[in-house]
Amino acid sequence: MKKYTFTEKKDTRSGFGAGMQILGQTSPNVVALCADLVGSLKLDAFIKENPERFIQCGIAEANMIGISAGLTIGGKIPFATTFANFGSGRVYDQIRQSVAYSNKNVKICVSHAGLTLGEDGATHQILEDLGMMKMLPGMTVINPCDYNQTKAATIAIADYEGPVYLRFGRPVIPVFTDADQKFEIGKAWTVNEGTDVSIFATGHLVWEAIQAGEILAEKGISAEIINIHTIKPFDTEAVLTSIKKTGCAVSAEEHQINGGLGDSIAQVLVQQYYVPMEYVGVNDSFGESGTPTQLMEKYGLTAADIVEKALKAIRRKNS
């Protein structure tokens, strides 16, 4: 089992900002749009270096999505940015109609996803966006796990032709992936190989899954940890290969259980290879105000919760 360590903590949204800064230098067709949240999206460097390639849309997200769709006609690659809540739920029809149905090369890049938005509370903590977005035909949905991976994903989606929803978050979390990684859309990353249980995690939960793997190892259990950074297109092969080896699965996501990563895995299990599976996610509930740590504990999204569900899945497998 590979031991993952970190020397610093950073927010994934800063990874996005760093990726945008590089795109500012390397991809002249990339333009950024924002709905009055430039600081939160870490766009300052991009805007400073490319003022003519930034379009401030004001607090009008619906219009921003339409503007982005229109901008694509001349070859521009619009990165429409706001909070996840305002870049998905608020503008679902705009995305469905103007972007997905028209197959526009728009990158919807959203921060402050999930409970870890924290103190602002449930109004702003969207926990349904991965499900809504993955349901849209043709939409690519990416939820990277740390600063470096978010930066790499940001750069990678500029080269991909088609609509993308890139989701990241607010709090600082450990940076544990390679700084110079190449991001491959749709290709799951096996963080640690194991034989007793497969833990499929996405976003902020990947680090928790790694911690869970270490706790399980101390109990003599070998957990396979897989980072599903791309929710869609879904890496069915990675799931099948792993569960055929381990015989049980756990999903872990900062999202509703209904309709999220776990349900994508469950589809594979039901249709192709049945094994017992447990979900770690928010169970049909809105969030509330609190620090990210308090909320992740209260709503059951920590390494300890993943361990508990892994043990349960293994018990079901052996019963």
Partner 1 sequence: MLTQEKLNFLKDKAKEIRQEIIIMITRAASGHVGGSMSAVEILVSLYHHIMKHDSQNPKWTERDRFIMGKGHATPVYYAVLADCGYIPKEDLLGFRRPGSYLQGHPKQYTEKGIEVSTGTLGLSLSTTCGMALSAKLKGEKQNYFCLCGDGEIQEGQIWEAAMFANKYKLNNIIAFVDRNYMQSDGYSEDIMPLDPLEPKWEAFGWEVFSIDGHDFEQIINTVEKAMLSDKPVMIVARTIKGKGVSFMENDNTWHGSPPNLETAMRALGELV
Smallest distance from the beta carbon of 15 to partner 1, in angstroms? 27
Smallest distance from the beta carbon of 96 to partner 1, in angstroms? 8
Cα–Cα distance between 243 and 276 in angstroms, integer? Answer: 10
Query: Is residue 76 close enough to count as binding partner 1 by CB under 8 A?
Result: yes
Query: Which one of residues 103, 236, 241, 289 is an interface residue with partner 1 (CB under 8 A)?
Result: 103
Q: Is the CB of 61 or the CB of 254 nearer to partner 1?
A: 61
Site string for partner 1, 56-75 (x = CB under 8 A): -xx-x-xxxxxxxxxxxxx-
Query: Which one of residues 12, 98, 105, 198 is an interface residue with partner 1 (CB under 8 A)?
Result: 98
Query: Which one of residues 85, 94, 150, 246 is an interface residue with partner 1 (CB under 8 A)?
Result: 94
Query: Is residue 289 close enough to count as binding partner 1 by CB under 8 A?
Result: no
Smallest distance from the beta carbon of 67 to partner 1, in angstroms? 4
Site string for partner 1, 128-167 (x = CB under 8 A): ----------------------------------------
Which of 90, 115, 141 has the alpha carbon at shortest distance from 263?
A: 141
Query: Which one of residues 55, 122, 240, 269 is an interface residue with partner 1 (CB under 8 A)?
Result: 55
Smallest distance from the beta carbon of 52 to partner 1, in angstroms? 8
Query: Is residue 318 close enough to count as binding partner 1 by CB under 8 A?
Result: no
Query: Which one of residues 25, 26, 97, 272 is an interface residue with partner 1 (CB under 8 A)?
Result: 97
Count of Cβ atoms closer than 10 Å to residue 161 Cβ = 10
**Matching residue, tokens 């003599």:** 220
Smallest distance from the beta carbon of 122 to partner 1, in angstroms? 24
User: Nearest-5° angle of CA 57, CA 61, CA 66?
Assistant: 85
Q: Are 35 and 202 in contact (CB under 8 A)?
A: no
Query: Which one of residues 25, 26, 102, 291 is an interface residue with partner 1 (CB under 8 A)?
Result: 102
Smallest distance from the beta carbon of 46 to partner 1, in angstroms? 16
Residues that bind partner 1 (CB under 8 A): 31, 52, 55, 57-58, 60, 62-74, 76, 78, 93-94, 97-98, 101-103
